[in-house]
Amino acid sequence: MRPTVANCGDHRLVTVARLEWHLNKSCSLTLVQLQSLLSIEFNADVLTSTIRKLDGMLFTIKTTRIEPAACNNDLNKTKRQTFAASILYHIEEGDYVVYYDETNYKIYCKRSQGRSKRGQRAVEKMPASKGPNVQVQCVVCLGPTA
């Protein structure tokens, strides 16, 4: 969807606003990626040196901080609380408890720098699973063996 503009000054403001929108959506976009997005949306060639002028808008390059999308939200906290209560109930009842755990060795690569306004973190929301991994599994038994 191409935004409508009245004159050249408005066109510049819309373009800059769109750049800011893209960076707020994904802070790790490169200048070339931003250039191609603007080319698609506005059907205009914009130089990467022009886009780099975002530094004048107080956008700077920083190391990105990963914030998992589903980490510590209210639903997950409730699920963990219910699970912990269930485990404690079974331990109190004297049930035989087997602890099974797995750990993931992630084979994952991502861009580690992104742009954000000065004074703000470059945060990138990531899904809980980031790609292929190797699983290491372990079972620990507490109690007599049969």
Query: pLDDT tens for residues 26-84?
Result: 877 888 888 888 888 888 787 777 777 665 666 677 777 766 666 778 888 899 899 88
Is 28 a domain residue?
A: yes
Whole-number average pLDDT of the chain: 73
**Lowest-confidence pick of 32-41, 85-94, 108-117:** 108-117
Is 88 a domain residue?
A: yes
Closest to 23 in 3D by CA, of 54, 67, 69:
54
For 17, other C-beta atoms within 10 Å of its C-beta total 11
Tell me how many domains the chain contains: 1
**Lowest-confidence pick of 87-101, 105-119, 124-138:** 124-138
Is 3 a domain residue?
A: no
Is 22 a domain residue?
A: yes
Contact assessment for residue 23 and residue 29, using Cβ atoms and an 8 Å cutoff = yes
- In angstroms, the CA 46 to CA 39 distance is 7
Is 146 a domain residue?
A: no
Task: Please indicate whether residue 7 or residue 112 has the higher confidence score (pLDDT).
Answer: 112
pLDDT computed for residue 81 by the predictor: 92
- In angstroms, the CA 115 to CA 25 distance is 11
Q: Which residues lie closer than 8 Å to 62 by C-beta, 6 or more apart? A: 113, 114, 115, 116, 121, 122
Which residues constitute the domain of residue 47? 8-141
pLDDT band at 145 (very low <50, low <70, confident <90, very high): low
pLDDT computed for residue 104 by the predictor: 60
Is 2 a domain residue?
A: no
Is 55 a domain residue?
A: yes
3-state secondary structure of 70: coil
Residue 41 phi, psi (nearest 5): -75, -40
Is 112 a domain residue?
A: yes
